[in-house]
Amino acid sequence: MSHINNCSCSSCHAASISKAEKEMHVELSENSRRDFLRRSTRLGLGLGIGGGLIGTPVAASALNNENAAYKENAMANNKAVRDGKATKLTLLHTADIHSQLMTHDEFFMEKGKPIFKKRGGFATLKSMINTIRNQNKANTLLIDGGDCFQGSGVAAMSEGRAIIPLMNNIGYDIMLPGNWEVVYGKEMMMKDMFAYDGVKVCANMFHDTQDEMKGDLIFPPYFVKHIAGIKIGFIGYNDPLTPKRQSPAYSDGIKFTMPELNVAKYVKILKEYELCDMVFLLTHMGLAQQVGLANMPQVKGIDYILGADTHERVRTPIQGVHTKVTEPGAFGSFIAKLDIVVENGIVKDHAYQLLDVDPILYKEDEEMKRLVENARAPYKKELNRVIGKTKTPLMRYYVIETPMDNFITDAIMWKFKPDIALSNGFRFCPPLVPDPKTGEAIITVDYLWNMLPVDSEAKKGFITGKQLWDWMEKELQNAFAKDPAKRFGGWVVRFKGMEVNFTIGNDAGKRVNWIKVAGQPVDLEKTYSFVACERDGDPDTTICRVEGVKNPKRLGATLHSVIEEYLKNHSPISPKLEGRCTATDAPNSLLTQLMGFGYEFR
């Protein structure tokens, strides 16, 4: 049986740190990981604080320092594996690929400075996966954590169908639906998901229809596998907030529930009846929510939460009270690799890495190159059409403000001239970096679909300054709620025409310090016009989650057409960070919602 998660003491649920636990945190910096885990197990100590956010910055930092012992060649150096006395189980995990078929620019933060490298592409991804899988072919499982068949022109134009043969060719074993899998509606989601050769798992998506399937799970809740001499189980969870985060119409006919409502049941089934040696949660909920879930007593018995959604690059597993959390980046630019040593049916050791999908290290797979070309062929002429150029990198990784969305809201403001232009806090879309020789990068229709994979109609409405203020407070709560379960997966909403200053660490409803519209302090009694995208399924008086809008009006133009028209008149563009949105307690280059856990996005 697994020796990784066997703490059963009630102190794991304590709301404050006990004296013994404080002593253990001190010992973290003095003892090896193995000695610490053995002592903490004997004393029954948790590794964090129960409720809300787990741990303290000091404890979290210590955990990440000791977890730095995970080395790239950790398993190769394991004596039992070398001597043939043990077996290695390998789990490979991707997520949030967002249909990025081609090698692309990718953002990294190194020595405090942003740099860009070429990464990803399905042909490189397949070659890399095959290389790793062939090293341990009988005992490797390949998992995708969702948001795969949305996010590009090919995906949108084929409603995801063109992506399925590519994933099947790579040979995924287990698939989890993500929050964007609903984008083409329930029926298309089911057709696409069930066309995958791999096993599907999700324990919190139910049929919500007036027929014989009402109340039934759409996908199997869990999957069990005998491999590497042990029995392992996987339980799947999509983001329960999907109907609020996306256009509500996308989720028609689907009911989502919170994981804590049934996860303990499935853990019991897998541990006590299936007699699994290890149990994993596959989740698509966002790193903050997944860390919050790792702190809940309902997940006791889970070895790892293999997470997704917020595109975070977890390079060292984040330790919660009851389990560890990982997340494997996005866009097919990374693969998470978890190696587990099994000796005589007992889990002895494990090591985790986040690996770059580097086209320099892995030659493109020729078969996949042909499949990608075939997938693009029906749409190639339109996708390759050039619509503009940029002199500065278009990117979306910053949490508070991004050059890409400054460009989008610039276009909305130019076209419709409202007081305020809004854009959602999207995360998807790889960067687009100018060629150092020409100083420019070409913007194509394909890249437009990457930026805005749903071509929504623009909509105008009127709200008071008080409504604007209250809405901004709500959006900041969505991004920075102290209870991770209340955070949405997106970043701070983007805008043009107003400036906002806020404090992340303040309580809900008290984060906004000031708002200016057209350079003047907002007048709470004054009425302001704004334009944003229409969300299918919202009430007519709701625009971009702003409720109670007066005189709502569809403007007869989609955001794609607005962007194209703007570029025709303003290309080449040079968007940059301008301080439209600022925080008193975080830089404008903030790269994650998850602060105070020793985690760093890089």
Cβ atoms of 50 and 192 closer than 8 Å: no
44-48, 177-181, 236-240, 430-434: the lowest-pLDDT one:
44-48
Using alpha carbons only, give the angle 496, 502, 505 rounded to the nearest 5 degrees: 145
Averaged pLDDT for residues 461-485: 93
Q: Is residue 66 part of a domain?
A: yes
pLDDT at residue 12, as a whole number: 37
Q: Are residues 344 and 394 in the same domain?
A: no
Q: Are residues 262 and 395 in the same domain?
A: no
What distances in angstroms separate CA 391 from CA 109, 403, 441, 532, one per listed residue? 20, 12, 7, 26
Q: Are residues 244 and 393 in the same domain?
A: no
Residues 556-562: contacts with CB under 8 Å, at least 24 apart: 556/457, 557/415, 557/457, 557/458, 558/455, 558/456, 558/457, 558/458, 559/408, 559/412, 559/452, 559/455, 559/456, 559/457, 559/458, 559/533, 560/448, 560/452, 560/455, 562/411, 562/412, 562/415, 562/458
Task: State the CATH number of the domain containing residue 514.
Answer: 3.90.780.10
Q: Is residue 447 part of a domain?
A: yes
- Residue-wise pLDDT for 538-553, tens only, equals 899 999 889 999 999 9
Write down the mean pLDDT value for the chain: 87
Task: Quickly state the pLDDT bin for 535 (edges 50, 70, 90).
Answer: confident
Q: Are residues 108 and 190 in the same domain?
A: yes
Q: Are residues 347 and 408 in the same domain?
A: no
Decide which of 356, 372, 392 is a domain's last residue: 356
What total of structural domains would you count in the chain? 2
Look up residue 291 and give its two tokens. 């860390």
The share of the chain scoring above pLDDT 70, in percent, equals 86
Question: Which residues make Cβ contacts (< 8 Å) with residue 123, sequence separation at least 6?
Answer: 103, 364, 365, 366, 368, 369, 372
pLDDT at residue 74, as a whole number: 57
Averaged pLDDT for residues 157-177: 98
Cβ atoms of 375 and 166 closer than 8 Å: yes
Q: Are residues 216 and 96 in the same domain?
A: yes
Q: Are residues 120 and 266 in the same domain?
A: yes
pLDDT at residue 69, as a whole number: 37
Cβ atoms of 36 and 21 closer than 8 Å: no
Q: Are residues 206 and 329 in the same domain?
A: yes
* Helix, strand, coil percent content, the chain, rounded in steps of 5: 30, 25, 45
Averaged pLDDT for residues 493-512: 97
- Residue-wise pLDDT for 135-155, tens only, equals 999 999 999 999 999 999 999
Task: State the CATH number of the domain containing residue 56.
Answer: 3.60.21.10
pLDDT at residue 247, as a whole number: 87
Using DSSP, state whether 501 is helix, strand or coil. Answer: strand
Q: Are residues 302 and 254 in the same domain?
A: yes
Q: Is residue 588 part of a domain?
A: no
Q: Report yes or no on whether pTM surpasses 0.95.
A: no
Residue 91 has pLDDT above 50, yes or no: yes
Q: Are residues 335 and 395 in the same domain?
A: no
Look up residue 433 and give its two tokens. 């970096």
- Residue-wise pLDDT for 556-588, tens only, equals 999 999 999 999 999 999 999 999 999 999 999
Averaged pLDDT for residues 48-69: 30
Q: Are residues 393 and 287 in the same domain?
A: no
Question: Range of 487's domain?
Answer: 384-583
Phi, psi of 134, deg, nearest 5:
-70, -20
Q: Are residues 339 and 426 in the same domain?
A: no
Using DSSP, state whether 551 is helix, strand or coil. Answer: strand
pLDDT at residue 266, as a whole number: 98
